Amino acid sequence: MARDPLNPDAIALQLLQLGVHPGGVLVVHSSFSRVGPVAGGPAGLIAALRSALGPAGTLVLPSMSDDDEQPFDRSRTPCHGMGIVAETFRKLPDVLRSDSPHAFAATGTHAAALVAAHPVEVPHGPDSPIGRAHELDGQVLLLGVGHDANTTVHLAEYLAGVRYRLPKHATVLRDGRPARVAYDEIDHCCALFALMDGWLDTRGLQARGLVGHAQARLMRARDVVAVAIAQLRENETMFLHPSGGCEECDEALASLPQGPPRDARTSGAAAP
Q: Specify the 3-state DSSP secondary structure of 197.
A: helix
Chain-centre distance of CA 131, in angstroms? 10
Q: Specify the 3-state DSSP secondary structure of 183.
A: strand
CA atoms within 13 A on the CB side of 15: 28
Q: Decide: 221 and 152 in contact? Cβ < 8 Å.
A: yes
Query: What total number of domains does the chain contain?
Result: 1
Say if 271 falls within a structural domain.
no
Say if 192 falls within a structural domain.
yes
How crowded is residue 112: how many other Cβ atoms within 10 Å of its Cβ? Answer: 11
Tens of pLDDT along the chain (272 residues)?
Answer: 678 899 999 999 999 999 999 999 999 999 999 999 999 999 999 999 999 999 999 999 999 999 999 999 999 999 999 999 999 999 999 999 999 999 999 999 999 999 999 899 999 999 999 999 999 999 999 999 999 999 999 999 999 999 999 999 999 999 889 999 999 999 999 999 999 999 999 999 999 999 999 999 999 999 999 999 999 999 999 999 999 989 999 999 999 997 655 544 344 344 33
pLDDT value for 2: 74
Q: Encode 21-90 in three state secondary structure.
A: CCCCEEEEEECHHHHCCECCCHHHHHHHHHHHHCCCCEEEEECCCCCCCCCCCCCCCCCHHHCHHHHHHH
Q: Decide: 229 and 160 in contact? Cβ < 8 Å.
A: yes
Say if 45 falls within a structural domain.
yes
Say if 270 falls within a structural domain.
no
Say if 120 falls within a structural domain.
yes
Say if 1 falls within a structural domain.
no
Residues 6+ apart with CB under 8 A from 46: 59, 85, 88, 89, 92
Residues 6+ apart with CB under 8 A from 245: none
Say if 201 falls within a structural domain.
yes
Say if 119 falls within a structural domain.
yes
Peptide bond into 22 cis (omega under 30): no
**Residue 216 belongs to what domain range?**
8-263
